[in-house]
Chain A
Amino acid sequence: MHISASSRQRGALAVLAMPAVLFTAMMVVFPILYTIWLSFRTAPLGHATQFVGFANYAQLADSPQFWNSIKVSLTLYVISLAMQLTGGTYLALLLFQAKRMPAILRSILISPFMVPPVVVGMMFLIILDPSLGAANWVLSLFGIAPSAWLASPEWVIPTVALIDTWQWMPFVALIVLGGLQSLPPSVYEAAKIDGAPPRLVFWRITLPLLLPTLATAAILRTVDLLRFFDIIYVTTQGGPLNASDTLNIYGFHIGFELFQFGYASALAMTLTAMVFGVVLALNRLRRAIDW
């Protein structure tokens, strides 16, 4: 009797999950398989697709623009992640020491990552405008020469990293704050009794204990940073001179401006493999340093 009830319940639960399963199969799994299939074919507009083996991938490996995109994506990733993890940890320590978080402060912290990325791009376009922007005016107050910011091939990636850090550093800080709040207080008390200076407590106790939380924050940011698109598409479209042509921007250009779907699929697969690879590596790291 009991068994038949639970198997009936199992059936009911399967029915509950079914619509989401069907939707996922149709909108997520099928497109992934289709893209894998397309990546081995040419798909010229208006013609039937044709099997070409690994030609698309070989074309990628031979394309200087592809390697440029890899370099741009990784540079942006490393600079942004470093800024967001150090800045986020610093801000989290401040919040932790302040003990309480007034609603107004929390509102300010969540605002940047709730603003649409397109709007973030627009607001920084005006601030960073080389001729009338507020950023160059602030630099001039300190006697620093104006920068072309997004219009400069050398500075465009650090500038985009700065914009992304503005948007996501508070998010990282809130995650790290959660990590700080869950640390056992007994460790601090022991350190205090031993008379350890605060700097030493941070480097020897707090930071090592925080590493798993930092790895989690790094994973969440990795996923967004490696496929960076919106802010760059809005501000520079990959320019100047391909200096901000990330893999996703390059892939979009190939797919939806040149309509080379086969080649674009190979690119999308490569980018996906990169994201999964880095995330898996970070996840393994996080397990290894978990305490």
Chain B
Amino acid sequence: MSVIAQLVIVAAGILFPIIWMVSSSFKSSADVTAYPPTFLFRPTLENYTRLLQTTPFFSYARNSLIESGSSTLIGLLLGVPAAYAASITRSSWPALVTLSARMAPGTLFLIPWYIVFRDLGMVGTYGALILTQAAITLPIVIWVLLPAFDAIPRSILEAAGVDGCGTLRSLWRVALPLVSSGLVIATILAFVFSWNYFLFALVLSDENTKPLVVAAFNYIGEGSTDWGGLMAAATLIALPPLVLAIAVQRWLVAGLTLGAVKG
């Protein structure tokens, strides 16, 4: 079989579950439970209207946006200067800490976080969720930006120093513009991973601060018979990360693997 034919088959296999989810979200309740499965059907928006009307989907979406957006911002504010400083001084501890934070299982952090946040009365607050999600975003920002800063020729930064640029000005005016694509990737990856992260919010959120992924999990428990509504929710939740990732696809793979493949 030719290479192209094999690639088409593999691509179809990868695409099928996503297409099945999206198409099921447009099926009427009779079509979605039909066996054998229906491939041709009259599409309907009833699952989406029911989802948006009978559940507080938009407020969960707002929670997701607040939590992922803020934790991404914190990750950038802390991670960009730290990655820059580590790159200039060639110190390796940020990469090491980043790696350890990425390797440790979530429960390792979650037990002490839960105890401390409970004692502070912060369980269920945006503050607790944003802080814990920032522990996801900060390593990603450092992970992506460290090699990007390392790639800047030292002579450029030294020249900026000679011109009387202070350290902060060198970072802001000289180094940051040179790593702009890395910055975009770091922002998008941090946002997507925070958006997708389930475990911390599962424990630390309440009804008012619940992000979409936790709400989606509750939908499964509440109405496993409403396949259409479930698939409509799944489609809407997957949409933002997919759109963001596809928009920057060319650099995304390099950003995800750079630190690992270079070593």
Contact = CB atoms under 8 A, between A and B. Distances in A.
Report the interface size class on chain A: 35 or more
Interface string A217-243: 001100100110110011000000000
A140 B134 CA distance: 47
B223 interface: no
B82 A20 contact: yes
Given A16-B81, A255-B111, A109 B234 contact: no
A38 B113 CA distance: 13
Contacts of B11: 105, 108-109
A94 interface: yes
Contacts of B252: 110
Specify the main secondary structure of chain B where it touches its partner. helix
A265 to B, nearest CB: 6
A114 B241 contact: yes
A90 B180 CA distance: 34
B217 A19 contact: no
A125 B35 CA distance: 15
A71 B79 CA distance: 38
Contact of A94 (B7, B13, B77): B7
A158 interface: no
Contacts of B113: 27, 31
B44 interface: no
Interface in A12-44: 12-14, 16-17, 19-21, 23-24, 27-28, 30-32, 34-35, 38, 43
Interface in B218-243: 220, 224, 227, 230-231, 233-234, 237-238, 241-242
Interface residues of B, number: 92
A111 B14 contact: yes
Contact of B85 (A16, A118, A132, A178): A16
Contacts of A159: none
Given A103-B249, A166-B13, 6 more contacts: A16-B81, A19-B78, A110-B252, A111-B245, A126-B230, A132-B37
28 contacts: A10-B89, A13-B89, A16-B82, A16-B167, A23-B134, A24-B97, A27-B131, A34-B112, A35-B112, A98-B3, A110-B245, A110-B252, A111-B14, A114-B241, A114-B245, A115-B242, A117-B196, A118-B196, A122-B220, A170-B14, A179-B261, A213-B261, A223-B102, A223-B103, A234-B217, A255-B110, A265-B111, A272-B103
